[in-house]
A and B are shown apart, each in its own frame.
Chain A
Amino acid sequence: MEMARFFFAAWPTHSAPDGAGTAAWYLLFTTAMLEPQTDGQLVRRIASSSDGAASARDAECELCRRFAPRIRLYGLRHLGDADRARDLIQSVLLVLLEAVRAGRVEQPERLDRFVLGTCRNVASHVRRTDARARPVEAEELDVRWLAPDAERIETVALLHCIAELEARARAVVHMSFNEERSADEISVLLGTTPGNVRVLRHRAIAQLRSCLDGAGKHSKSAPKEQV
């Protein structure tokens, strides 16, 4: 934890009048200065550097920037709450940084496995104890700069787009995401096959995506698979 404090204290967040903006620019600057590197290269650079070396800080910055959105997705999926997902980012990144600095990551090229395992452990603890992860103070690790807030979808726009779905597709979306029914259950209720439910479901989500991206302008167009 002390090392994490040291690293994040090095960010010029608190010294500048517009600390938040400065941190964001610093992050963008350091990211732009780094050549694309694998996770393993970044881990070795951090582990082999002396305390506080600028190149190690840049590498740590890049690792955090790289993994924060992925950790958030895991948190949203398994903790179902944006606040808990944000806390999870903090907790997991601190574990990651401490492990990398201490040379405790055995397979640097498979850092994704390490991060996923840490996500599972922390999320499991949170669910078991029905508590939020223990976030550190915001000034130590401000995830807003690492993973800006997720896309916000206007409720009214979403309702308009849902209204434009075919009735059967609308029913599948409702049963899948509001009633949390499986494709097998929905197929029984609608008198069709699970495979057909899956097709209806992913086409409906593609159509909603297309509708929202076009603010409703293209909602009548054929759904695209790659959205």
Chain B
Amino acid sequence: MSAAICSHPIAFETLVAYWAGDLSSEDEDAVELHVMGCARCTASSERVAAIALSVRALIPPLIAHDQVAKLRARGVRIEENAMVPGERKAVVFRRDVDVLLHRLGGLDLANASDVSVTIRDEDTGDIMHADLSAPFDAATGEVLIACQHHFEAFPHNVLIEVRAMASTGESKLAKYMIPHTFEFAALVP
């Protein structure tokens, strides 16, 4: 089949499900056998794979506490920055660090049902990231932000708003101001 034109290309939806690991073993076998004999579907699968693998490699900006240990186990170099509500603290993202972990603490999350986080450019107020259901740790009263090298492309003066919502409908807002300096920025042409 290799040199022939594919008369039954695999559906895009099926390729996405394949790369999401969401096909039955029979369907997965069928996809793999077809792709192994088909140049056209190989090319289509490569285009889906590029997205799937890139998304998988991303560390989300808001992470759960158990993910920190997993990142360390993978060899990710993490420097921590603990903050309390209302604090303004300038930080330097050093070049020998992979993740600058902002521990946004001092929150009363004991009765929180949901926590929303909005990350803004402090200078313009523009929203850079918003998560209506952010991971949080009720016991420590913390929300974790995993600042990464490529965030250097975004505005450096950051205002983070954390709103904790209780099941009663009551909500509390905490703000953290973090101007960033990226030590490696000068290396980028």
Interface residues of A (CB under 8 A from B): 36-39, 66-67, 69-70, 73-74, 76-77, 111-113, 115-116, 119, 150-151, 153, 155-156, 158-159, 162-163, 167, 173-174, 176-178, 180, 182-183, 198-199, 201-202, 205-206, 208-209, 212, 225-227
Contacts and interface: CB of A to CB of B under 8 A. Distances in A.
Contacts of A73: 35, 42, 45-46, 49
Contacts of B54: 153, 155, 158
Contacts of B39: 66
> Is chain A's binding surface mostly helix, strand, loop or mixed?
helix
A111 B129 CA distance: 49
**Residue among B22, B49, B56, B150 having the largest count of chain A Cβ atoms under 10 Å:** B22
Given A74-B36, A153-B51, A180-B21, A159 B58 contact: yes
Interface stretch (B11-19, B79-87, B157-165, B167-175): B11-19
B150 A176 contact: no
B12 to A, nearest CB: 5
Given A111-B2, A155-B150, A201-B20, A70 B51 contact: no
A112 B1 contact: yes
Nearest to B12: A225
Contacts of B37: 39, 111-112
Contact of A77 (B1, B12, B19): B19
A188 B13 CA distance: 20
At the interface, is chain B mostly helix, strand, loop or mixed? helix
B53 interface: yes
Interface of B: 1-4, 12-13, 16-22, 32-33, 35-37, 39, 42, 45-56, 58, 60, 129, 132, 150, 153
B6 to A, nearest CB: 12
A177 B56 contact: yes
B48 A205 contact: yes
Contact of B150 (A70, A159, A212): A159
Contacts of A205: 16, 48, 51-52
Contacts of B53: 76, 150
Nearest to B56: A177
A112 B36 contact: yes
Contacts of B33: 112-113, 116
Given A37-B3, A73-B35, A151-B46, A156 B56 contact: no
A158 to B, nearest CB: 5
Given A70-B36, A176-B22, 8 more contacts: A38-B2, A66-B39, A74-B36, A151-B50, A158-B51, A180-B21, A198-B13, A205-B52
A112 B18 contact: no
B56 A112 contact: no
Contact of A115 (B19, B36, B51, B150): B36
B130 to A, nearest CB: 8
